[in-house]
Amino acid sequence: MVFSIIMKIFAGAVTVLSIVVLIYVYTVPLDSMRMTRDGVPYFTPQVINPENGEPIDMGKLIRHYRGD
């Protein structure tokens, strides 16, 4: 009986703590979660290649001009 109550309290505490941590992570993200090491935001749309009109990834464009 007592073990059952303790397990319910523990499960409730873990659930509440998990929800609070997820809310915190999404509302106050770290700087490293916002952009790549090249300074490009993660959700940047693709850019149009002026030579052939095809869309390319912004990271690929940066690596091209940087010479990687």
Query: How many H helices and E strands in the chain?
Result: 2, 2
Band (39; pLDDT cuts 50, 70, 90): confident
pLDDT (mean) for 32-38: 77
pLDDT tens digits for range 5-33: 999 999 999 999 999 999 998 888 777 67
Distance, CA of 14 to CA of 8 (rounded, Å)? 10
Contact, 13 vs 37, CB < 8 A? no
Could you tell me what percent of the chain has a pLDDT over 90?
37
pTM of the model: 0.49
Distance, CA of 63 to CA of 10 (rounded, Å)? 49
